[in-house]
Chains A and B, each alone.
Chain A
Amino acid sequence: MSFIQILTNGEKGLFKPNSLTPMQKLTLRFVVVGLIYYGVVVIEGMLMRLFEVNPNLALGVEPKQFFAIMTAHPLVGIFGSTYSIVFGAFLFLVPFLMKKPLWSIKLGNWTLWLITIGTFVFWFAGFVSHYSPLYTLYWPLPADFSQFSVLGGTFFIVGIALVMVGTAFFVINIFKTIIYTPDGWEKQPGGALIKSALGLTGLTNLFSKKKKEHLVSLPVAAIARGTVDTAFNAVVILFAGVLILIYMVAELFGVSLKHSAIDALLYKNIFWWGLDLIADGLVLIFVAGTWYLLATLITGKKLFMENWARAALFVEMVVSWTVWSHHLMSDQAQPGILKILSGEMVTAFELITQGLAFFITLATLWSARPLKMSHPLKFLLGGLLGFALAVPAGIMQADLGLNRILHNTQWIVGPHVHVAILIGLTMTLYSAIYFLFPILTNGAKLYSERLASFHFWAHLLGGIGMGAFMGMAGLRGMLRRSIYLNGEFNIYMILAAISGSLLLLAFLAFFYNIVMSVGLKGVIGIFMPSKLRTKNLLPSE
């Protein structure tokens, strides 16, 4: 086949979008949207990297734009990219593992479009108006209209709200799918299914001689547990959004509300409680669940120490609900007891819960030697390494002594945040994508194995390198939300930019490989309505 034929029809013309079920199309749409937004995030990241080296290199980006990009970058990454890929995968995997249809494909499509449009709305509002209170939204900055446009901010918050509504629909769909009884089935035990899904059965089994049967598989339990945090997070973000909107709408009508009506510290506590349900809750839990699923699928073996894994999921729920204070260790008005108990001690538990998941996954893989070093396996090992690097970095900064000299430096956002997200989370997602690709495409073939290997190495080295050089700059005092115009940390920023360019090349290689595998017609076909009238996940043989 010629290059043009492959680009148009995909590798060997194997991908036939007309053969896809509505569920396959829904999942693939989520993946395509997630990857496009990931591309946006990588480009934004590179612009910021260039700006950090020398503002003149960053294609005319001004300081106000720089901070607008910094505001949109993590939000597009979390909501537009990660939420899309994760929600798409889990809306497929929960019914797949429970061997029943998704409760509502229509609601799944609503989730997709609300997240897609919502992300575009807040990104575009930031792009046009330079609304830039950063994702932390520390009160009263988001309502400081001497620095930001009221109208731009209003659209920005509306965009976030749309994403949260889409998220709420995802939560409903997941839990309804777990407990509902499909037509023609025996009545399902909803209460027992929920207990099993939340990890309560696994916890009681640890202390009971009479072990109860697990009604849902471990990956479904992990998804359900993470989805609880997703729901609470959506409520808190919506609460903050509504509060900010009240100030914006009043301003639009010519009334300036008093900022001091809101206690900045209380707001910060509530905000971080909610935001940590993502950072220290659903991300860790979803990732652990995905590791367990991939380890069992790759090896075909039972998970090592399954009851411990289930109990750890329940413990992680308590941890994720009580861990937020490590973000307020440098806030002197925050009570010391919260800093020690929530900030130091509970955070240290993440070392234990994530360490358990790390060990259990490796032990499961070990039991099935020899394994072929497939793309899903190598990306899974990369994901495990990412969290093994990033979690201890986080535990160190969640210490009252060390936080005093690390808070808000590049250390936080380099070795901890970016290594966790780019290496830990993203490589785990890539592992799942490589594994699910033939299943979701009814046997389409990857265009190039070499490109997939390049994708792995460039992403791994780029991500670790970027995190490391940012961390070195942080240890030497470089702040994370500031601008250095005199080249104070240039050596680290140049090395971080070179590493970042590896990440960009890795993504381009992956994107090209996927497009050449399914073809442009295939990509368009994914977004056309399915011709199959079925709720089944996969087409019948």
Chain B
Amino acid sequence: MIDSNIVLTGQTVAYTFYVLAIMALMGWFSYKVTRNGSGKVVKPAIFYSFVGLLVVIGVSLHIVTHETIPWKPMDLNRAEIKADKEFHITMKNHEFRLPTSKLIIRKNEIVRFNVESKDLTYGFGIFRSDNSMVFQMQVIPGHINDILWQFDRLAVYSIRSTEYSGPKGINMILRDAVEVVE
């Protein structure tokens, strides 16, 4: 499965390009609006084309991500997908309770993390050793909170609560708690 870092790199490039373009456009507009003009009104055709463009961008973004980001369709269809391995994790009193001290996963296995909160709303996130995020989900008490993931490379990851659960929650980190092996 494509790594989330690659998706984030793509997003960074796309958004940076957009930011530079819109800032250049506004700079150009700010200069030109102070110069003499013809006094003509903008043609409605330009306006309608702009509206059409917005519609295309708004809809196509989600279609493109559905087709290119593998965890999106996997997440929507996760009830029908059989996992190779499943971990049941409990969260209570600002602590993670793992089934084993270290979660061992084989490369390319589809894993289901089933996380239950016994008290507050928490988050469940897997992080790389450089603190970048692989994925996260919310953990709501009284509900099933499950996520499927496929790890495609050998690595060691940390688990961290990604939702604020009061000041006691700031230390909810389990270093090197997940290991992907051959």
Tell me which residues across on chain B come within 8 A of A344, comparing CB atoms: 62
Q: Are A132 and B15 in contact (CB under 8 A)?
A: no
* Complex Cα gap A340–B65 (Å): 13
Q: Binding site of A, secondary structure by majority: helix, strand, loop or mixed?
A: helix
Interface string of B132-144 (1 = CB under 8 A from A): 1111111011111
Q: How far is the CA of A159 from the CA of B142 in the complex (A)?
A: 30
User: For this complex, into which size category does the number of interface residues on chain A fall?
Assistant: 35 or more
Measured between beta carbons, the chain A residues less than 8 angstroms from B8 are: 405, 475
A40 contacts partner chain B, Cβ-Cβ < 8 Å: no
Contact B23–A385 (Cβ < 8 Å): yes
Q: At the interface, yes or no: A330 with Cβ under 8 Å from chain B?
A: yes
Could you tell me the distance between the alpha carbons of A489 and B127 in the complex, rounded to whole angstroms?
Answer: 14
A260 to B128, CA, bound (A): 34
Interface positions of A from 445 to 495, Cβ below 8 Å from B: 468, 475-479, 481-484, 488-489
The residues in B between 49 and 87 inclusive whose CB is less than 8 angstroms from any CB of A are 50-51, 54-55, 57-59, 61-62, 65-66, 68-69, 71-72, 75-76
Residues of A within 8 A of B137 (CB): 330-332, 404
A483's contact among B26, B57, B131, B170, by CB below 8 Å, is which?
Answer: B170
The answer to whether B62 touches A477 (Cβ under 8 A) is no
In chain B between 10 and 35, which residues have their CB closer than 8 angstroms to a CB of chain A?
11-12, 15, 18-19, 22-23, 26, 29-30, 32-35
Contact flag A332-B138 (CB < 8 Å), given A363-B42, A482-B164: yes
Q: Complex: how many Å from CA A384 to CA B142?
A: 43
A388-438 contacts to B (CB < 8 Å)? 388-389, 392-393, 395-396, 399-402, 404-405, 407-409, 415
* A388 pairs with B22, CB closer than 8 A: yes
- B58 and A352 contact, CB distance less than 8 A: yes
What is the distance, in angstroms, from B98's C-beta to the closest C-beta of chain A? 19
Are A67's CB and B140's CB within 8 A?
A: no
Residues on the B chain within 8 Å of A477, using CB: 127-128, 130-133
- Is B54 a contact of A351 with CB atoms below 8 Å? yes
Is B34 in contact with A378, judged by CB distance below 8 angstroms? no
Closest B residue, CB atoms, query A471: B15
Contact A304 B144 (CB under 8 A): no
Whether A488 pairs with B131 at a CB distance below 8 angstroms is yes
A72-80, A137-145, A232-240, A499-507: which one contacts chain B? A137-145
Residues in B neighbouring A187, C-beta threshold 8 A? none
Distance in Å from the Cβ of A466 to the closest Cβ of chain B? Answer: 14
Taking A333-B144, A370-B33 as contacts, is the C-beta distance between A393 and B15 under 8 angstroms?
Answer: yes
Q: Does A349 contact B (CB under 8 A)?
A: yes
Name the A residues within 8 Å of B39 (CB-CB).
367, 369
- The answer on a CB contact under 8 Å between A369 and B33 is yes
Are A401 and B140 in contact (CB-based, < 8 A)? no
Count of chain B residues near A, Cβ 8 A: 75
Q: Does any Cβ of A come within 8 Å of B180's Cβ? A: no
Query: Which residue of B has the minimal Cβ distance to A473?
Result: B131
Q: A138-B121, A144-B120, A405-B135 are in contact. Are A359 and B75 (CB under 8 A)?
A: no
Cα A475 to Cα B146 in complex, Å, equals 24
Given contacts A333-B145, A395-B61, contact A475 B34 (CB under 8 A): no
B140/A405 in contact, CB under 8 A: no
Question: How distant is the Cα of A367 from the Cα of B22 in the complex, in angstroms?
Answer: 20
Interface residues of A in 205-239 (CB under 8 A from B): none
B167 at the interface (CB under 8 A from A): yes
A193, CB-defined interface residue at 8 Å: no
The answer, among B19, B125, B141, for a CB contact under 8 Å with A264, is B141
The answer to whether B44 has its CB under 8 Å from any CB of chain A is yes
Asked whether, in the complex, the Cβ of B167 is within 8 Å of the Cβ of A64, the reply is yes
B33 touches A371 (CB 8 A): yes
Q: Is the CB of B15 within 8 A of A396?
A: yes
Q: How far does the alpha carbon of A328 sit from the alpha carbon of B140 in the complex, in Å?
A: 11
Give the chain B neighbours of A475 by CB distance below 8 A.
8, 11-12
Shortest Cβ gap from B50 to chain A (Å): 5
Q: Are A265 and B140 in contact (CB under 8 A)?
A: yes
Nearest Cβ on chain B to A97's Cβ, whole angstroms: 23
In the complex, which residues 481-536 of chain A have their Cβ closer than 8 Å to any Cβ of chain B? 481-484, 488-489
Using A367-B40, A367-B41, A396-B11 as known contacts, say yes or no to A263 and B142 having CB atoms under 8 A apart: yes
Whether A132 lies near B166 (C-beta < 8 A) is yes
Whether B100 is near chain A, meaning CB under 8 Å from some CB there, is: no
| Chain A residues within an 8 Å CB radius of B132 | 476-477
Q: How far is the CB of A287 from chain B (nearest CB, A)?
A: 16
Partner of B140, one of A268, A378, A402, A481: A268
Q: Is there contact, CB below 8 Å, between A396 and B141?
A: no
Does any Cβ of B come within 8 Å of A4's Cβ? Answer: no
In the complex, how many angstroms separate the beta carbon of A158 from the nearest chain B beta carbon? 21
Determine if A305 is an interface residue (Cβ-Cβ < 8 Å). Answer: yes
Contact B121 A264 (CB under 8 A): yes
Question: CA separation between A282 and B84, bound complex, in Å?
Answer: 47
Given A147-B166, A333-B145, A481-B163: A348 and B12 interface contact (C-beta under 8 Å): no
- Is B147 engaged at the interface, CB distance under 8 Å to the other chain? yes
Pairs across A and B, CB under 8 Å, 23 listed = A67-B164, A138-B164, A144-B166, A305-B47, A331-B145, A333-B144, A349-B58, A356-B54, A367-B42, A369-B33, A370-B34, A377-B33, A381-B29, A396-B11, A400-B76, A401-B68, A404-B4, A404-B72, A405-B134, A408-B123, A477-B132, A478-B131, A483-B170
Given contacts A141-B121, A396-B61, 6 further A-B pairs with CB under 8 A are A260-B141, A330-B138, A352-B51, A352-B54, A367-B39, A476-B131
Closest 6 CB pairs between A and B?
A369-B37, A348-B58, A401-B69, A481-B164, A401-B72, A333-B143
